[in-house]
Amino acid sequence: MSKMSELSQVLDDLIACGEKMIQTANAIRECFSEEAPAAEPEKKAKAPKKEKAPEPAEKTYSKEDVRAILAAKANEAGGQFKAQVKAIVKKYADGGSLTDVPADSYPALVEEVEGLKDA
């Protein structure tokens, strides 16, 4: 791997990490910014148990998330999955790079890449 592509990958990982930190900080802010009336905790205790929530919809991924997942899998086990990861990306992209993959295809792409196992 050339120094420039290594640097590019490190920068992409750093950006993805920063975005995750922002999401986490916003989630914490939301938890503490909601002001509930004092009587509400009692209502929750007396309320009947709700049925199980429906399964969450398909997980959404940002391009940085997908790039990090692809890089991790390609570098796993000494790079044995690198060619397979490239082939899967080409399957979902017209141009053969992640930039060409439509965002709505990210979940399927990630699922297929995560399904790669040692032979």
- Give how many domains the chain has, as a whole number: 1
Q: What average pLDDT does the chain have?
A: 79
Q: Identify whether 33 is part of a domain.
A: yes
Q: Identify whether 28 is part of a domain.
A: yes
Q: Identify whether 119 is part of a domain.
A: no
Instruction: Name the residue with higher pLDDT: 20 or 95.
Output: 20
For residue 112, give the nearest of 94, 85, 90 by alpha carbon.
85
116 contacts 72 by C-beta, under 8 angstroms? no
Q: Identify whether 110 is part of a domain.
A: yes
The pLDDT score that the predictor gives to residue 35 is 57
pLDDT digits (tens, 9 = 90+) for 45-86: 555 555 665 555 667 888 888 899 888 888 887 888 888 888
Mean pLDDT, residues 88-96 taken together:
84
Q: Identify whether 44 is part of a domain.
A: no
The pLDDT score that the predictor gives to residue 17 is 85
Show the domain range for 71: 3-37+58-114
